[in-house]
Structure 1
Amino acid sequence: MRLQFQVQQFQTEAVAAVVDCFADQPYAAPGPANAPLVTGRLLSNVRAVQRRAGLPLSGTLAGSEAAPDAPNLDVEMETGTGKTYVYIKTIMELNRRYGWSRFIVVVPGVAIREGVRKTFEMTAEHFQQWYGTRPRPFTYDSSALHELERFRSGAGVQVMIINLQAFNSASRENRRIYEEQDGFGSRRPIDVIRSARPIVVIDEPQRIGSTRSLESLSRFDPLMVLRYSATHRVRHDLVHRLDALTAYRQKLVKRITVVGIEGEPGAGKRRVQIREVIRAHLEKERQLHPRGVKVLSLLFIDQVVKYRDYSRCDQLGDYARIFVEEYRALTAGEPDGDYRRYLDGIPVERTHQGYFAIDRRTGHMIDGSASDVDAYDLILRDRERLLSLDEPVRFVFSHSALREGWDNPNVFVMGMLKRSDNTVSRRQEVGRGLRLAVDQRGERTAGINELTVVADESYASFVAGLQAEGDFRKVTDGRRARRSPAPAAMITCEDVERVAFDSADLVARCVAALDDGLAPLRLVVQTADRTLRYSMNPDKVLDPVGHLAERTRLTRRTIAAILTAIRPATFALCGGETAAEIINREKAALISAGVPPAASRSADDRTPRPRAGRPRSATRR
């Protein structure tokens, strides 16, 4: 299937906001270089556009180290509203009205670069129909400089897509842009580029703001710089704004429902998260399958081994293994009908897939970074195929590094299967699922656009973090999962000394406390119309003695004595963190009660003891 692109008023307004800033610029026939700016009313034009949009008026034209003597225009568009489409159409409109034909799209990394390239490919036919021509994009490659020759002398709208590292890195390969090349007529690529006086479009400029980056951009000698982002950090002349709240109110993006999961880290919590992702997916799929809408779920993880473990016979990582078990359990009771037959036609092992960088030597998935083009090629090549109901993949496991540069309109559920990281933008991650959904004809479908986010933190924390990054849309409280109150944490202190105590006393206290206080993990999942309660045993561990010894700093002999004395039902619950917390609490209680010096007691176990006085960063051993 192919996505269908329609002309939409809110996107047309964004295009006009830029193009109208040059209203009195005369048309000049395209050539090897863009015609110079001759408008004498640029500031007046900018202010007229700003006044029309209700934006603050510029007192003077903003400058930038990237283009000190050229216009610097900002366009703010919420993630998921099609800013890449908008700036491609702006390129086409600038060419039609003024004859400018040399453009550079600068992006902060490979992921976005590949996403931009794919959008040019998907929209080519659409723009051909509207303009009678299409842009001619290419990705800058220092080893394929013949493309630069076409950029300089080729007919039509020439667009070079380049990532920041390709001209801002100190590596030998990336320095070639500034060096004379024997195979390029002894010319420097940068000289060929700057001779075109290109119009530079910056995608996600908030990530290209360092002094070095801006100085590097200035070497292109741009005719103007157009910046497109949902979150501008440095303001220039803002000529268009479509913020998150406006996008939500105009129903241009999906609304968000958050499922917050609180609880003790571990496989138990992850199992509940994966279960909630699958549950939400199936609920949406029952509704949308009869309408011919493919439902996709995206699960962010932080390590490939949690999805694909090549040390195991079946190569399934822990998360993939949990997924298979939970999926089978949740689909087992589906009643007969068309949807049941649809589910039966998709083997569970084929309905989930991982999208990661690939090691070219081994063919194995690996933890990727922003420079791993293999991962993005795979994702982007499959974007449209994933929308087909004939494609069995419905659940996509992806690396957190892929939060930018890829999105799919039919992502309805997202699972954050990783610890929260303040350096990672929630808006970028959530933005992968904000686009409005399409049916099997590739046409947008109304009335179904809700994104469920299953978060790795409380609902309140996730929403607060989301809203702290900008004026964000209303977020709905979906299910709220919270951990039942845990036992009190042990006393912690940075300055410690060695103490010793009677192991038999400690064993007896721990056995009693574990038998009395250790209970299955309980989580409560609440919705507007129901409450679900989970009760499960903690993580199973192969070596419970070693597991607890490591977390309590007791000897294996003492831990073994504790585990052999507790009840069998209690022993089954000792794999999680709560058992270690209880043991540590009893150990701390012995210390707080005042234990005689080591010489007067049996010294099987030695453990840090809090000291009075000012804490210090060093621990005395």
Structure 2
Amino acid sequence: MRLRYAVQPHQTEPVDAIVAAFAGQPHLSGPANAPLRIGADRLLANVRAVQAERGLPASATLVPSAGCPVNLDVEMETGTGKTYAYIKTIFELHRAYGWGRFVVVVPGLAIREGVDRAFAQTAEHFMAAYGRKARFFVYRSRHLHRLESFASGPGINVMIINMQSFTGAERRRIHTERDDFQSRRPIDVLAGTRPILVLDEPQRMEGGRTLDALASFRPIAILRWSATHRVVRNLVHRLDAPDAHRRGLVKRIAVHGVTAPGRSETQLRRIQIREAVRAHLEREERLRPYRVKVLSLFFIDAVARYRDYARPDGKGDYARVFEDEYRRAGGAGAPEAVHRGYFSVDRRTGRLTDPAAPDDEDAIDLILRDRERLLSPDEPVRFLFSHSALREGWDNPNVFVICLLKRGDSTISRRQEVGRGLRLAVGPDGERLTDPALNELLVITPETYRDFVAGLQREFPRPPAVRDARRDRPGPVPQPEPTRLITLDSAALVTACVAALDAHLPAVPARRTVTTAAGTRDGAVEPAPAGAHDLLGDLLGDLAGATGLTRRTLAAVLTAITPAAFAGFAHDPRAFLAEAARIITTQRRLAERAHR
């Protein structure tokens, strides 16, 4: 199966924000990125204008980092297509300003392989949109000839590199004159192109040594993309967890806490596996009419619990228990065929490892090369076991159950684990399924529901609602501190929303087709009377879910905007809903900030 890509407003919004931040920069192309021709004052004014439009805190100044004065932050919730969005940003920056040298920096091999695959999978999609392809490659010290093409090739050139290649044991190679590279240092060739750095998961690149190493690239700008920024410099776009859930961009989360007082750890794990198998089979039955292949993911505490080479068959305790429970539950197919462990594989021994350093070049994560095959019904594997190889940089849209066969710890956070299954499901043709009833992620944990969501509360600055699967009712995430209620002036908010919608919604003249004996022609349609807005119950409901405002308030807004602004609804309802929701949410946030 090949995933199908479509232009989606929530993935275009951060692209527009970054492009707008450089407004005024002339379009210049060449073997190196043209330097910034707009001054710091203009850049800061651009950034503040972007922030004001999106209801974000205004930057007092441009915050430098890694020797670069321009650092723009984008916050995007896990599962909403961050990688797609920054690839699109690369194309737009090239189209708008001529910049063609980009270095995507990632914190480890898993993410590096995922980014490499994303460039390959989206190549035809972006070719259709921009009429060109990006040249991209993964940096490897034994293939330095690729740097020549990066430095001199026309169009868009992208290098993908994991930070260990210039900060860890391999640092010497990129900073040393090489005989096989005409006595040059690779870093000098890269720095000579004055690239734009795209940092994927920058919270793992905030150490002083890493920042100093990033400075050696001499970037003209650094773009930071993450769901969990540790340091915020100049934030130009935010799509956080609550917004993503309100807009239906990710799966809803349900939690099944399995606690067994008086039971041993072994008994508790068996119960968890039993519940996971049961939940998986239930979801298979529910989704069978949609021909959706269901996947379940187990995070375990030690590889030896799944793959034990001391035993003749190589099976660990979890593998044995799983096969027993799957057989008891009456699952289709041989139990041995439906599960697999995805860990690092040592090339020298061929054995699964529990890597202390998962970024070792000698370890290749099995799943990273072939994960699309998991979506095919012809592939029998439906249950995946992992220790740390899948903790980040990997997700699959059809993961519906995550079972945590481990206690919560600081090595793998709840947010990372939950994020592996947040992406919306896809059907057999690769199209995403947007029906909320089909998109729910069940997390089976050895903690109580209350303890688990309290952990989420610590890791999500503004956490989404989480359902208690055992009680089958919505369960709000507990707040550690009393929530301060904000009373907004509805009339003022309506006025602000109307003005913003009229100013920013594209004016689309409504059209009608007139057929006569002489043929068919288009003609302008008279604006719909105000009463026509009464027929928009579905639109009001969708906007209410996306913005958090009441139907009454939204009805007051929509009935007051100009006919030209509202005509976009008939022209493209999806785009209208997404853009209207973004504009209204921005105005709501601005109103909330004014009352703090």
Listed as ranges, the matches of 1:49-64 within 5 Å are 49-64=50-65
The equivalent residue for 2:146 is 147
Superposition TM-score, scaled by structure 1 size: 0.73
Give me the identity figure in percent: 61
Task: Indicate conservation of the 8 Å contact 1:271/1:322, yes or no.
Answer: yes
- Pair 1:432-2:420 in alignment: yes
What is the aligned partner in structure 2 of residue 497 from structure 1? Answer: none
- Distance across 2 between alignment mates of 1:52 and 1:466: 30
Give the drift of 1:156.
Answer: 2.0
1:456 is aligned to 446
1:75 positional shift? 0.4
Provide, for residues 433-471 of structure 1, a one-character-per-residue CA deviation record: whole Å limited to 9, x for no partner. 000000110001122110000112221111111121121
Amino acid at match of 2:458: A
Matched position secondary structure for 2:160? strand
Residue in structure 2 matched with residue 324 of structure 1 by the alignment: 323
Change (3 A) 1:351 1:423: closer
Q: Aligned ranges for residues 13-412 of structure 1 at < 5 Å?
A: 13-29=13-29, 31-40=30-39, 41-64=42-65, 66-68=66-68, 70-169=69-168, 171=169, 173-263=170-260, 264-331=263-330, 343=332, 346-368=333-355, 369-372=357-360, 377-412=365-400
Aligned residue in 1 for 2:580: none
Asked whether the 8 Å contact 1:142–1:174 carries over to 2, the reply is no
Alignment check: 8 A CA contact 2:248 2:434 kept: no
Say if 1:375 and 1:190 are closer, same or farther in 2 by CA, change over 3 A. Answer: closer
- The 5 A counterparts of 1:412-431 are 412-431=400-419
Offset at 1:211?
Answer: 1.0
Is the contact made by 2:344 and 2:365 (CA closer than 8 Å) also made in structure 1? no
Q: Which stretch of structure 1 is more off in the superposition, 442-451 or 352-361?
A: 352-361
Q: Which runs of 5+ in 2 are unaligned?
A: 475-596
Q: TM-score, normalised by structure 2?
A: 0.76
Query: Any conservation in 2 of the 1:356–1:375 contact (CA below 8 Å)?
Result: no
Letter in 2 for 1:478: A
After superposition, the C-alpha distances for 1:494-535 in whole angstroms (9 at most, x for unaligned) are: xxxxxxxxxxxxxxxxxxxxxxxxxxxxxxxx6569xxxxxx
- Tell me, yes or no, if the aligned pair for 2:301 and 2:406 is still in contact at 8 Å: yes
Partners of 1:238 and 1:527 lie apart in 2 by 38
- Note if contact 2:164-2:359 (Cα within 8 Å) is conserved in structure 1: no
Q: Does the residue aligned with 1:200 lie in a helix, a strand or coil? A: strand
Pair 181,372 (structure 1): closer, same or farther in 2 beyond 3 Å: closer
Range with greater deviation from structure 2 (208-217 or 262-271): 262-271
1:476 aligned to 2:459?
no
SS at match of 1:283: helix
- Letter in structure 2 aligned against 1:465: G
The offset of 1:350, in angstroms, is 0.6
The CA distance in 2 between the partners of 1:431 and 1:240, in whole Å, is 20
- Determine if contact 1:302/1:400 at 8 Å carries over to the other structure: no
Indicate how the Cα distance of structure 1 residues 377 and 422 shifts in structure 2: closer, same or farther if over 3 A, else same: closer
Superposition RMSD in Å: 1.6
The number of aligned residues is: 466
Distance 2:434 2:108 in 1: 33
Kindly provide the amino acid, as one letter, of the partner of residue 133 in structure 1: R
Report the AA paired with residue 222 of structure 1. P
Distance in 2, matches of 1:221 and 1:374, equals 30
- Residue of structure 2 equivalent to 1:5: 5
Cα distance in 2 between the residues matched to 1:328 and 1:111: 33
1:441 aligns with 2:434: no
The question of whether the paired residues in 2 share the 8 Å contact of 1:357 and 1:373 is answered with no
Question: 3-state SS of the aligned residue for 2:400?
Answer: strand
- Alpha-carbon distance in structure 1 between the residues aligned to 2:49 and 2:111: 32
Once the two structures are superposed, residues 286-305 of structure 1 have per-residue CA deviations (whole angstroms, 9 ceiling, x without a partner) of: 01122110100000112222
Change beyond 3 A, Cα 1:373–1:353: farther
Give the secondary-structure state (helix, strand or coil) at the position aligned to 2:415. helix
CA contact (8 A) 1:2 1:384 kept: yes
Deviations 1:233-255 (A, max 9, x none): 11111100001000000010001
Provide the rounded CA distance (Å) in 2 between the counterparts of 1:222 and 1:327.
53
Q: Indicate the SS of the match to 1:143.
A: helix
Q: What is the letter of the counterpart of residue 363 of structure 1? A: G
Shift of 1:377: 4.3
Deviation string, structure 1 residues 229-280 (Cα, Å, up to 9, x no partner)? 1111111111000010000000100010011122344210000000111111
Distance 1:44 1:125, change over 3 A: same
* Alpha carbons of structure 1 residues 376 and 472: separation in structure 2 relative to 1, 3 Å: farther
The CA distance in 1 between the partners of 2:410 and 2:347, in whole Å, is 32
For residues 358 and 89 of structure 2, what CA distance do their matches in structure 1 show? 27
The CA distance in 2 between the partners of 1:475 and 1:403, in whole Å, is 21
How far apart are residue 374 of structure 1 and its match? 6.7
In structure 2, relative to structure 1, the CA distance for the partners of 1:85 and 1:376 (3 Å cut) is farther
Instruction: Sort the Cα spacing of 1:283 and 1:193 in 2 relative to 1 into closer, same or farther, 3 A.
Output: same
Q: Retained in 1: the 8 A contact 2:345–2:364?
A: no
Find the residue that maps to 1:383 and give its secondary structure: helix
> Could you tell me whether the CA contact under 8 Å between 1:416 and 1:455 is conserved in 2?
yes
- Tell me which residue corresponds to 1:550: none
1:321-379 alpha-carbon deviations (Å, 9 max, x no partner): 111111111127xxxxxxxxxx2xx2221111111111223322121342145765421
Q: Provide the rounded CA distance (Å) in 1 between the counterparts of 2:44 and 2:443.
A: 44
**CA shift at 1:217, angstroms?**
0.5
Q: 1:260 to 1:376 in 2, by over 3 A?
A: farther
Task: Name stretches of at least 5 consecutive residues in structure 1 with no aligned partner.
Answer: 333-342, 480-525, 530-621
Deviations 1:516-563 (A, max 9, x none): xxxxxxxxxx6569xxxxxxxxxxxxxxxxxxxxxxxxxxxxxxxxxx
Asked if structure 1 preserves the Cα contact closer than 8 Å seen for 2:280 and 2:294, the reply is: yes
